[in-house]
Structure 1
Amino acid sequence: MSDQPGERLWPAIVDHRARSSPSELVGLIPKGSEVSDGYQELSFAGLARAVDACARWIETRIGRATQPETIAYMAANDVRYLVFILASQKTGYQPLLPSTRLSDDAYKHILTVTKCQKFFYTADKQRRVSEIRTAQPETQIFEVPALSEFLDAESSPYPFEKTYEEAEDEVAIIIHSSGTTGMPKPVPLTHGFLATMDMGAYLSRPEGRQSSLFHDLQPGQLVMSTTPLFHLMGLIAFTEALFHEIPFVMCPDKPLSVDIIVDVIQATHPTAILLPPSILEDMSHSADARAALRTLEAVYFAGAPLSPEVGDLLEQDIKVITVIGSSEMGLISSLVPQGEKVWGYFEWNPAYGVEMQPQGDGLYELVIPRRADSRRIHGIFHTFPDLNEYHTNDLFVQHPERSNLWKYHGRKDDVLVLSNGEKLNPVTLEKTVEGHPRVKHALVIGQSRFQTALLIEPTQPVADDKAFVEAIWPTVERANETVPKYGRVSKNKIRLASPAKPFQVTPKGTTKRRAVNSDYAEEIEAIYAAAAAAEAAGVPQLPHTLDLTHLCEYVRSLVAELLARADLKDDEDLYAAGLDSLQTIQLARTLQTAVANRITDTPVAINQQQIYAHPTVAQLGQYLVDLVHGQTRTTTISRAERIANMIEKYSSQLPPHKPLPPSLPEKSTVILTGSTGSLGTYLLHRLVTDPTIAKVYCFNRSATAADRQRESFTTKGLDSALLTDPHRVEFLTVAFGAAHFGLPDPTYTSLLSSVDLIIHNAWKVNFNHPLESFEDPHLRGVLEFLQFSHASAHRAHLAFVSSVSTIGSWTSQMGSVVPEAPVEDVGAVLAQGYGESKFVSERLCWAAAQRAGIPTTVLRVGQIGGPTTRQGKWNVDEWVPNLVKTSVALGKVPRDLGGYAVDWVPVDTLATITTELTHTRRGEQSHTPHRVYHLVNPTKTAWADLVPAIQAKYPHVQVVGFADWLHELERIPSPSEEEVRAKPALKLLDFYRGLSGSVLSAEIAVERTRQGSETMARLGGVTGELMGNWLEQWAF
């Protein structure tokens, strides 16, 4: 046999060591069902005899395999697993090791897909195997003799003569996935896969560093194994004993308990132990168990995260080491982190080679890239030999101070998406709650719900549910601190699992999320129904005196609770204060219920539109006064006057005229706002790859913008390495409405001396908020940029990203063509705060060019589509994806949009057009201080031409008229959270109503825009293929 690490085969190793060191210890195995029965040593000579005897026994029953054939083995959790695996390999069979806890359907599935018709079992599994045979009558079953028959047999050697080269790609063992998300999936492990686990011990490491695997243990030191032997974590005990001479200790075959583990530790004195986290958490609550663990050099855990509280407790005097791997890829080589309070972190061994790819929200996915030597060290490329890189779907967060440390944060499919689009990974919260001694399992629920809830399986039956919740509530409060505020669990949304319906778990002890959600579907619906009923019953009554003072106090208290703020002023804009769309719906429902309870003789309809129209406590209070007293208050100031006053307020603060400098620098230095958004990311990519750009300063409000930018580049398939050069791109944290953007004076002064172009792309996108909600920081920010330009050395050119909503109400009376020019008639602007705020900003740019000589460009952008590439995604919260998602939920899609024509521009294409236009403007700004461009697709497509792509993706969707589609939504006057979750178009009903009448009676001129951009000049229309790409990216 080959004795080269990474080229050794299990049967050959056993035969070789049986000859060369027959008394060498393989493991300690229990003599009986009790620890007190004692242990016996299993040597390599004894193991070889047992394997040869078992091989001959298999041959007498079914013969030698002449071609690859699968045989199943279900047994007591004893060393016969190792014996049977080795004997199967010697006789040419592929041993399938099914879990002992699968359903009949799961057994049928896994036997069918592996084409297995022969099932071996030990006596204690006879009943279960008989049931399987009943479901699969063609299956032959064979009872395996007692272990002692193999160990005591006198058998001649059973030859195994294959070389590694012959056997590398042959299946050695078949295990299977846990079936967490469906039926268990067979995972064939080849001899080459097993050989990578051999090579793990020989990977280089930084000097003086300890491996997080067993490789630093010395030959002969015992490792206690506690996991089932049909699972990879159980098989590790065999790989280490055979490859690296680290013998195992096995527990008696009975349900694992803390007491048994303590007894085995005390009886056998192992050096280390490998435990599933669920058992380790149980042990943490026992003083005797903790004392037993303290006698060990290392306590390894794997398979799932460990409760933070448990880990913090144990690490005080126990060396706790986390190990990671999977059935498909084996173990990932990592190092034991150095320092305090890092027990839960991984430090990857550089020699193994992983990549941490950003996924947004501070999360990174562990990815294994293929390299020249991957087949020697990466098991995954034996499991999937055709892959070039493997995405594990495992998510991690980076240590806040040590960038080389990573903490497991769950899997991609663990992530909950709430009905407001917020994402939440609940794993840390769940594990923290499971750290409570009375909690066996915890599951956060809330997929597509407005709020999260918590389902708990207690360790013992509970007599009083309320008292139980009170007892664990302090732990839940601590757990809530691990997630954002929107994901926190309230006390009234905690429920206990039924003892008659225990949580389904994997062999690793982790909760099967999908299965438990399915098992408890009715109970989950009841949680949210009860919460809705309680909310309605608990609505605070209107004050006894219905005057302005008391109603303002009432509204203030409601909003203060929603925003968790006690300092809200009556004239403060609610949306500037942080109120979001779903809180708006919640506030409207509360007011609707309160007013209807008080005024029973007159129908009352308060929806979110009334909140948007009255966005301060004072305005809402006055609205309620008028409503409850049956008064209709006329507007005291017209819309046109409001807009004109806003324009005058800011244009009056423009600086005086000043001539342009004689020349511009050879290369541009650019300020870009909104760089982390969709368009902003592609704009930044265009700028940093443009050789005429010297440097880009990214202005963002978030201090984590640089990290988010890298994540955004990666998810869109852009090269994030472009962001690493501080001489090319720099991220600055700013306050847009503040003087000098809140920057330190030296930084601001430096910018004044170098910047010659500003692309202002940051803006709040909300079609419901009134104009006044955009004043701070948006309108103030435009004024601040104009003042910056005036003071700058190069009179920085301001390119303002505006919107066609500023001309969305243009009529034929205003002209047959909307010119690429400033608009003065406020009647041309869509009646929404968003469009009005863009209009005010356009007018400020025009005034600045005329009065102050500041070069400005207005880019009226139409609907931005998704990218033309496979990577990236059109923001699912925008009106087009909301329309599609709602249509899928309704089963109806509009055949038209009331005459609306699709003139969308893909986002990456739009970024190219924008940068080309800034180049054009740079060459003409000295004689043309202001210019307006229309960035809409000159090649229009009918919505009806895109509907077939939607039907191809969702065949159940019926095509209906736009009016009928709207009517379906209008039949839901006060939508529940569930309805808003499933049909997000309900949040934008007024927008869709306006869309049906939004067809301009004039053409939008694009001639000058096409002249200024080559990409615009050759732009084609949106196709069904492009729509299909976006549908795949949304994946509703």
Structure 2
Amino acid sequence: MLSPTVLVDRLAAEKPNNVWMKSPITSAQGETHWEDITYSQLKNALDAMSDFIIQHLGPGSPDEVVAYMGVNDVRYPLVILAALKAGYKPLLPSPRNSKEGNLALLKTTKCSKFLFSAEFLPQIATLSVSMPSLKLEPVQVPAVDELLKPFTPTSATPKGPASFSDHETLMILHTSGTTGLPKPIHIKAGVFATFETITSIPTPPGRTSTHCSLFLTRLVLSVAPFFHIFGINFLLRSLYYQKPVVLLPAHKPPTAELILECIVKTNPSALASAPSMIEDICRLPSGLSVLSTLDFVFYGGAPLAEACGNQISNVTSVYNGIGSTEAFFFPTLLLNDPKDWQYFEWNPESGLVMEPTEENPRLAEAVIKRRPDEKYQFVFWNFSELQEWWTHDLFEEHPTKKGLWKFAGRLDDIIVLSNGEKVNPVAFEKIVDGHPWVQGALMLGVGHFQAGLLIEPSSDHQGDNREEFIDKIWPLIEEANAEYPAYARVWRSTVMLTKPEKPFKRASKGSTMRQATYKLYEDEIEKLYKEQEVVDEAPSAAGQSIAGVQEVVRKAIRSVLGSRAAKLTDDANIFQLGADSLQALQLSRILTSSGLKCNAKTVYDNPTVSQLTKAVSVSETSQQPENIISREERMSAMIYRYSRFPKLASPPSPPKSPPAAFNVLLIGSTGSLGSYVLKELIDTPEISQIFCLNRSSNAPERQQKSFEDRGLGPIPSSQVHFFTGETSAPNFGLEFPHDFASLQQQTDIIIINAWPVNFNSPLESFEPVIAGAKRCADFSSGSARKPHIVFISSIASTLNWPAVRHTPEDGNEIIIGEDWDPDNSLPAKQGYGESKHVAASILSNALNAGHINSVAILRVGQLAGAAEKSGVWNRQEWLPSLLKTSTTLLKLPSSLPSPIDWVPTDLAARAVVDLSLSSHHSSTSAVPQTFNLVNPHIVPWSLLVPGIQEFYAPTRKIEAIPYADWVDELKGISPTATDEQIEQMPALKLLDFFEGLNAAATAEVRFATAHAVAKSKAMAGLGGITGRMMRKWMEEWKF
């Protein structure tokens, strides 16, 4: 087969000015236009890249592999082709793989040379240090504009092989890794040769190949990444059929809006994309009208929502494609009836045969069988030893049109929960299967919120008492739970036993037929998920003594914690042992079923066996236990515990004049606010070095992913440095003591941003981060630079102000000022606000004791989604939860008790950096400088309601009702809410918060912002929340 690099040389000679690709160029102002890259420029860039590879890595030896990871721009095809020219086989690991997945690919392919674009330095560095035995040689490739500059080949510039044998590897892709580590797939030259002739594939009389349309259309906008087989199609199309491709800007997230902008500006004849992006386009007001300008929309990789596909098919053609890394794509025919767009019709030349499954006769698995003329069968080039390829893809035939097949899922065992989480049940089932009392085990949960387990007892134990049987096998279930993430754990209440008369369905070879068994127990499974899961979970507490109630509580907590109960003591905080919100709900239901009065808030407020026993005993007996400590006393005790600063022998040294450039220690950089703060620090000229301290060992990868999701651009490795640790530990838990000493010597400003956000947890659960605030003060005290401390606090630290400071003479308006106030009665009555106040008080005490020179307290209000940048407002927060719940109830509050003084997160980050610098410059105060970071411009919620109703009007009609009535709706649902209802109405989990919001609205609370506005340009330029912002956030939530 002719080498594709020789083909590039020919095209450059014969068609030098023809367009190869349209590449996006984004200006400093954020405007994007597309420039043509010709075949002549392609050859020039290819020569430059191949010369670069030779200069940095040397020529490749036979079958030597070089990996590449980069942003999705023209460098991907350039590296692929240049690697071949330099004698290498290019390996394209997905940036979305786990570190372990990519290490496995490198090890399996014996790859030690790694090219990358600058944006992926953190990932490559992590790979390099994670497996030193690989002796990885990472090399950063030049920027696109450097490669497009005129280049004169030298004698060292490789010419590359003129041809390849059909069974020679040209590139290495990999499987998805859904069921384990990704496996390399060697793509052979014969695949390229087949691609070159695929538009000549014979078809039945009067029929057309789908791929003729895809590969011969004038201009395609491809959203597919080049490390995926879908994207490789469009590289080959641009060479073998000389049809150009449009690329999206690599440094912007591929949003529906960006795709529409690209279509309008570049006028393609077709769009090729994953279904999720097309569905997003359908939701936009101008989506269908823009798509109507295309000849067709092509999708693949997953099913497209029927409603969306039907809408598009009314304005243009919809083509459906399917394939795999191993088999490239399956040749199909264009359908006669556009209404059948969801179906496939196989080209006879494909060799595809539909084999009915043993489990479900309605479903068939697609099998590619080798034909005498295998010219158009890609898979047998990659697997020449096979005679047939079982795809594991399941299809269902059209009810009336024979030969049309609709995708119906995978034969794989993956369970997809209703929240989208995927669970591989095999390992779990095998662990439980190991018990002698168990004949078989099947994990449940398809389409449900949590996993369950169906167990077939062995013949000797059929009909055993359920509780005794589960007691016997429970240690193995706990062992399996310990191996699985929290969302995949099996609770005792979701374990179900088979009936003797209904054993598991098994195939002739003895294996369990999963789908058939699910079908057999369909009614029982649905009943299991609809029932209150907690019946019989704990013994009755009726008439029990305090000791008896404590045993009921202890047993219930052990049941919920599972394997983590090994560390349970009567005074251990269950949330510090790893309990989450779902388990708090589960525990409250167990205790309720025992006859005790308990809800999730009771659990949050009393997270130990001892505290919870007292709480439910008080509720049961209506007697107040003795020695109740007030919350103010609890705060005072914690402040005292972490404020033991000895008196200094001499007064503190006056602060030095500020440096020309500041080094900043940012504690907590990978979250939403942290990411935007990091971006602002990078873009601020006064900032020199940035040290990011995070608990996660994979923080660089998470940070890069966060930046990519928000379109924040590359992270400069020369300026940003990542450390793994936590402030609550000595030396911040850093692995090397010299790292701590180095940070202490270099840091000028500390920004404390890492803080758990849980409005249900009690003060004590925040003790680790409170201790961390004390260690930050010690860090500053021990530094010659005496770094300025900026603490990201919360307005929750002042929300009880109306109750303790407001008098009738003050009228209905309450102004919370920007002065530091140590009063322990001011925080909201929840652990989060109390913890912020306690930490600020500790820092204030450190300042008073002269151990630190300056502190700024930033009381941050409600942070909204980004106004100017990308990034989804966290769907778990109260406002998205309110909206999601309202779209289910079809009822929306017409007003809110609290004012809309929200600050978009990206603008808040700008204010954080402004205030960090300005408060450092004026750091002579003997008390903490305090700023209210809330929006000075307030808008009423009622102003936003019509826009929300209009946004959802095409699919649902939402009624606006008084806020109190909306809360009453939730209260009516809450007592019997199922897990599915909680998923669809997440405000149920925050019911106490919404009730409290209403109860607190006795007066109009406002926050003074004059100090913040005077010290921050971002605050001074802040406007109110607009309908445009609200629409942007709703589009991003996709409720």
Q: Same fold (TM over 0.5)?
A: yes
Q: What residue in structure 1 maps to residue 741 of structure 2?
A: 749
Quote the offset at 1:707 in angstroms: 2.2
Judged with a 3 Å threshold, the aligned counterparts in structure 2 of structure 1 residues 800 and 949 are, in CA distance, closer, same or farther, namely same
Q: What residue in structure 2 maps to residue 78 of structure 1?
A: none
Whether the 8 Å contact between 1:698 and 1:730 is mirrored in structure 2 is yes
Q: What is the CA deviation profile of residues 608-661 of structure 1, one whole-angstrom value per residue up to 9, with x for unaligned ones?
A: 232233332222223344444442336633333333333333223366352145
Judged with a 3 Å threshold, the aligned counterparts in structure 2 of structure 1 residues 732 and 244 are, in CA distance, closer, same or farther, namely closer
Quote the offset at 1:465 in angstroms: 11
Q: Aligned with 2:853: secondary structure?
A: coil
Q: What residue in structure 2 maps to residue 922 of structure 1?
A: 920
Matched, 1:659 2:653: yes
Whether the 8 Å contact between 1:894 and 1:965 is mirrored in structure 2 is yes
Q: What is the CA deviation profile of residues 241-293 of structure 1, one whole-angstrom value per residue up to 9, with x for unaligned ones?
A: 369997999xxxxxxxxxxxxxxxxxxxx8334432xxxxxxxxxxxxxxxxx
Q: Name the CA distance, whole Å, in 2 between partners of 1:232 and 1:434.
A: 32
Q: What residue in structure 1 maps to residue 967 of structure 2?
A: 966
Structure (1 or 2) with the larger CA radius of gyration? 1
Quote the offset at 1:554 in angstroms: 3.5
Matched, 1:241 2:234: no
Quote the offset at 1:757 in angstroms: 0.9
Quote the offset at 1:443 in angstroms: 7.5
Matched, 1:1005 2:1008: yes
Q: What residue in structure 1 maps to residue 719 of structure 2?
A: 728
Q: Name the CA distance, whole Å, in 2 between partners of 1:976 and 1:893.
A: 19
Q: What residue in structure 2 maps to residue 773 of structure 1?
A: 765
Q: Name the CA distance, whole Å, in 2 between partners of 1:609 and 1:908.
A: 32
Q: What is the CA deviation profile of residues 942-985 of structure 1, one whole-angstrom value per residue up to 9, with x for unaligned ones?
A: 11122223322263221111111111122245344424333222
Q: What residue in structure 1 maps to residue 608 of structure 2?
A: 616
Judged with a 3 Å threshold, the aligned counterparts in structure 2 of structure 1 residues 228 and 860 are, in CA distance, closer, same or farther, namely same
Judged with a 3 Å threshold, the aligned counterparts in structure 2 of structure 1 residues 238 and 478 are, in CA distance, closer, same or farther, namely farther
Q: Name the CA distance, whole Å, in 2 between partners of 1:615 and 1:487.
A: 23
Quote the offset at 1:750 in angstroms: 1.2
Q: What residue in structure 2 maps to residue 94 of structure 1?
A: 208
Letter in 2 for 1:570: D
TM-score, normalised by the number of residues in structure 1 = 0.57
Q: Name the CA distance, whole Å, in 1 between partners of 2:322 and 2:635.
A: 70
Quote the offset at 1:836 in angstroms: 1.3
Whether the 8 Å contact between 1:670 and 1:759 is mirrored in structure 2 is yes
Q: Name the CA distance, whole Å, in 2 between partners of 1:92 and 1:166.
A: 26
Whether the 8 Å contact between 2:201 and 2:209 is mirrored in structure 1 is no
Q: Aligned with 2:751: secondary structure?
A: strand
Within a 5 Å distance, the mapping from 1:98-247 to structure 2 comes to: 186-187=319-320, 234=368, 240-241=374-375
Q: Aligned with 2:588: secondary structure?
A: helix
Moved more, 521-530 or 440-449: 440-449
Q: Aligned with 1:989: secondary structure?
A: helix
Whether the 8 Å contact between 1:800 and 1:858 is mirrored in structure 2 is yes
Residue 760 (structure 1) aligned to one of 745, 752, 763: 752
Quote the offset at 1:546 in angstroms: 1.0
Q: Name the CA distance, whole Å, in 2 between partners of 1:523 and 1:784.
A: 55
Whether the 8 Å contact between 1:430 and 1:479 is mirrored in structure 2 is yes
Q: Name the CA distance, whole Å, in 2 between partners of 1:786 and 1:165.
A: 66
Q: Aligned with 2:819: secondary structure?
A: coil
Quote the offset at 1:986 in angstroms: 2.1
Q: Name the CA distance, whole Å, in 1 between partners of 2:568 and 2:320.
A: 58
Q: Aligned with 2:892: secondary structure?
A: strand
Structure 2: gaps spanning 5 or more residues: 8-197, 212-239, 245-268, 273-296, 310-317, 332-349, 357-363, 395-408, 506-511
Q: What is the CA deviation profile of residues 504-528 of structure 1, one whole-angstrom value per residue up to 9, with x for unaligned ones?
A: xxxxxx9999x99999975542231
Q: What residue in structure 1 maps to residue 699 of structure 2?
A: 705
Letter in 2 for 1:763: W
Q: What is the CA deviation profile of residues 396-436 of structure 1, one whole-angstrom value per residue up to 9, with x for unaligned ones?
A: xxxxxxxxxxxx9999xx75354xxx944448769989999
Judged with a 3 Å threshold, the aligned counterparts in structure 2 of structure 1 residues 796 and 233 are, in CA distance, closer, same or farther, namely farther
Quote the offset at 1:729 in angstroms: 2.1
Matched, 1:786 2:784: no
Letter in 2 for 1:837: S
Q: Aligned with 2:975: secondary structure?
A: coil
Matched, 1:1032 2:1031: no
Whether the 8 Å contact between 2:854 and 2:920 is mirrored in structure 1 is no
Q: Name the CA distance, whole Å, in 2 between partners of 1:578 and 1:658.
A: 42
Q: Name the CA distance, whole Å, in 1 between partners of 2:834 and 2:445.
A: 40
Whether the 8 Å contact between 2:875 and 2:1037 is mirrored in structure 1 is yes
Quote the offset at 1:874 in angstroms: 1.1
Matched, 1:878 2:874: no
Within a 5 Å distance, the mapping from 1:781-820 to structure 2 comes to: 781-811=772-802, 812-813=806-807, 817-820=815-818
Quote the offset at 1:502 in angstroms: 13
Quote the offset at 1:768 in angstroms: 2.0
Whether the 8 Å contact between 1:180 and 1:512 is mirrored in structure 2 is no
Q: Aligned with 1:622: secondary structure?
A: helix
Q: What residue in structure 2 maps to residue 452 of structure 1?
A: 451
Whether the 8 Å contact between 2:321 and 2:329 is mirrored in structure 1 is no
Q: Name the CA distance, whole Å, in 2 between partners of 1:496 and 1:245.
A: 42
Quote the offset at 1:873 in angstroms: 0.9
Whether the 8 Å contact between 1:901 and 1:943 is mirrored in structure 2 is yes
Judged with a 3 Å threshold, the aligned counterparts in structure 2 of structure 1 residues 197 and 980 are, in CA distance, closer, same or farther, namely closer
Letter in 2 for 1:580: D
Within a 5 Å distance, the mapping from 1:548-587 to structure 2 comes to: 548=547, 550-563=548-561, 564-587=564-587
Paired residues, number: 690
Quote the offset at 1:738 in angstroms: 2.2
Q: Name the CA distance, whole Å, in 1 between partners of 2:514 and 2:945.
A: 38
Residue 982 (structure 2) aligned to one of 980, 983, 1004: 980
Judged with a 3 Å threshold, the aligned counterparts in structure 2 of structure 1 residues 672 and 605 are, in CA distance, closer, same or farther, namely same
Q: What is the CA deviation profile of residues 107-130 of structure 1, one whole-angstrom value per residue up to 9, with x for unaligned ones?
A: xxxxxxxxxxxxxxxxxxxxxxxx
Within a 5 Å distance, the mapping from 1:221-300 to structure 2 comes to: 234=368, 240-241=374-375, 271-276=385-390
Whether the 8 Å contact between 1:664 and 1:794 is mirrored in structure 2 is no
Matched, 1:593 2:586: no
Q: Aligned with 1:901: secondary structure?
A: coil
Q: What residue in structure 1 maps to residue 710 of structure 2?
A: 716
Q: Name the CA distance, whole Å, in 1 between partners of 2:393 and 2:379.
A: 27
Within a 5 Å distance, the mapping from 1:233-632 to structure 2 comes to: 234=368, 240-241=374-375, 271-276=385-390, 302-303=391-392, 416=417, 418=419, 423-426=421-424, 444-445=444-445, 447=447, 449=449, 451-453=450-452, 483-489=484-490, 493=495, 524-529=525-530, 532=532, 535-542=534-541, 546-548=545-547, 550-563=548-561, 564-594=564-594, 596=595, 605-632=597-624
Whether the 8 Å contact between 2:416 and 2:446 is mirrored in structure 1 is no
Q: What residue in structure 1 maps to residue 827 of structure 2?
A: 829
Q: Name the CA distance, whole Å, in 2 between partners of 1:924 and 1:909.
A: 23
Judged with a 3 Å threshold, the aligned counterparts in structure 2 of structure 1 residues 454 and 538 are, in CA distance, closer, same or farther, namely closer
Judged with a 3 Å threshold, the aligned counterparts in structure 2 of structure 1 residues 843 and 1031 are, in CA distance, closer, same or farther, namely same
Q: Aligned with 1:272: secondary structure?
A: coil
Letter in 2 for 1:577: L
Within a 5 Å distance, the mapping from 1:984-999 to structure 2 comes to: 984-999=986-1001
Q: What is the CA deviation profile of residues 212-244 of structure 1, one whole-angstrom value per residue up to 9, with x for unaligned ones?
A: xxxxxxxxxxx9997779999738868843699
Matched, 1:847 2:845: yes
Q: What residue in structure 1 maps to residue 688 of structure 2?
A: 694
Letter in 2 for 1:271: E
Judged with a 3 Å threshold, the aligned counterparts in structure 2 of structure 1 residues 424 and 227 are, in CA distance, closer, same or farther, namely closer
Whether the 8 Å contact between 1:654 and 1:848 is mirrored in structure 2 is no
Q: Aligned with 1:94: secondary structure?
A: coil
Letter in 2 for 1:558: A
Q: What is the CA deviation profile of residues 1013-1032 of structure 1, one whole-angstrom value per residue up to 9, with x for unaligned ones?
A: 11211111111221111112
Whether the 8 Å contact between 1:457 and 1:502 is mirrored in structure 2 is yes
Letter in 2 for 1:779: I
Q: Name the CA distance, whole Å, in 2 between partners of 1:794 and 1:542.
A: 60
Q: Name the CA distance, whole Å, in 2 between partners of 1:433 and 1:86.
A: 52
Q: Name the CA distance, whole Å, in 1 between partners of 2:552 and 2:1012.
A: 52
Q: Name the CA distance, whole Å, in 1 between partners of 2:773 and 2:712.
A: 30
Q: Aligned with 1:765: secondary structure?
A: coil
